[in-house]
Chains A and B, each alone.
Chain A
Amino acid sequence: MPEIETTAAVPSAPADPPQQVEREFTIKAMTQRQLVFRRFFRHRGAMTALVVLGAAVLLAFSSIGVAGIPGWWDASYAEAGQVVSGGPTLDVLPSPIDGDGLQVGAHPFGQDDVGRDYFALTMRGMQRSLLIALLVGLTATVIGVVIGSLAGFFRGKIDAILMRVTDVILTIPLLLTAAVVGRTSDGGAVSLALLLGLIVWTSLARLVRGEFLSLREKEFVEAARALGASSTRIIFRHIVPNTLGTIIVNATLTIASAILLETALSFLGFGVQNPDTSLGKLISDYQTAFQTRPWLFWWPGLFIVLIALTINFIGDGLRDAFDPKQTRVRA
Chain B
Amino acid sequence: MPVFVLRRLVVSVFILLVSSFLIFFLVANSGDPLGDLRTDTSPNREQKIEHRIEKLHLDQPVPQRYMTWLGGVSKCAVPGLGCDLGQSVRDQDVSVLLSQALSATLQLVTAAIVLSIILGVTVGVVSSLRQYSGFDYTITFTAFLFFSLPVFWVAVLLKQYLAIEANDWYDDPKIGLTSTVVLSLLSGLFWGAILGGKRARRWIVRGTAAVLTAGLLQYLSAVEWFQRPALGPALIALLSFGTAVGLTALLAGLHRRNVLYGCLTTAAVGSVVQFPALNWIEDSTWASWTNVGLLALGAIAVAAVIGYFFGGLDRGPAIRACVLTALFTGAFMVTDILLRTVPSYSQKVNGRILATTGAETPDLNGTFWQNQLDQITHLILPTLAIMLISFATYSRYSRATMLDVMNQDYVRTARAKGLTERTVVVRHAFRNALIPLTTLAAVDLGVIVGGAVITEKVFARRGMGSLFVTALDQVDPNPVMGFYIVTAVSIVVFNMLADIAYAYLDPRIRLS
Contacts and interface: CB of A to CB of B under 8 A. Distances in A.
A175 B491 CA distance: 17
Interface in B151-176: 151-153, 156-157, 160
Contacts of B29: 180, 184
Interface string A291-331: 00010010001001100110011001000000000000011
Contacts of A168: 15, 18-19, 22
A172 B19 contact: yes
Contacts of B469: 175, 268
Nearest to B155: A267
B144 A312 contact: yes
Nearest to B458: A267
A269 B454 CA distance: 11
Interface residues of chain B: helix, strand, loop or mixed (majority):
helix
Contact of A179 (B144, B472, B492): B472
A310 to B, nearest CB: 8
Interface stretch (B181-189, B361-369, B480-488, B499-507): B480-488
Contacts of A177: 26
A301 B450 CA distance: 26
Interface string B435-472: 00000000000000010011001000000000011001
A180 B26 contact: yes
Interface string B126-139: 00000010000000
A173 interface: yes
A283 B160 CA distance: 15
A143 to B, nearest CB: 17
Contact of B454 (A172, A268, A313): A268
B30 interface: yes
Contacts, number: 106
Q: Which of A172, A269, A270 has the most CB of B within 10 A?
A: A172
A8 B15 CA distance: 58
B150 interface: yes
A260 interface: yes
A263 B480 contact: no
Contacts of A330: 132
Contact of B145 (A180, A287, A297, A305): A305
Given A176-B472, A179-B30, A313-B144, A164 B15 contact: yes
Nearest to B407: A325
Q: In terms of DSSP, what is the predominant structure of the interface of chain A? A: helix
Given A260-B148, A264-B454, A172 B31 contact: no
Contacts of A175: 453, 468-469, 472
Contacts of B14: 164
B150 A283 contact: yes
Nearest to A284: B152
Nearest to A49: B144
Nearest to A173: B484
Contacts of B160: 290, 294
Contact of A308 (B132, B148, B152, B480): B148
Contacts of A283: 150, 152-153
Interface in B5-60: 11, 14-16, 18-19, 22-23, 26-27, 29-31
Contacts of B488: 171
Interface in A169-194: 171-173, 175-177, 179-180, 183-184
12 contacts: A171-B488, A172-B22, A173-B450, A176-B30, A180-B29, A180-B30, A264-B150, A283-B153, A301-B150, A304-B150, A309-B147, A313-B144
Given A267-B457, A294-B160, 11 more contacts: A164-B11, A175-B453, A175-B469, A176-B480, A184-B29, A290-B156, A301-B153, A305-B148, A308-B149, A309-B148, A331-B132
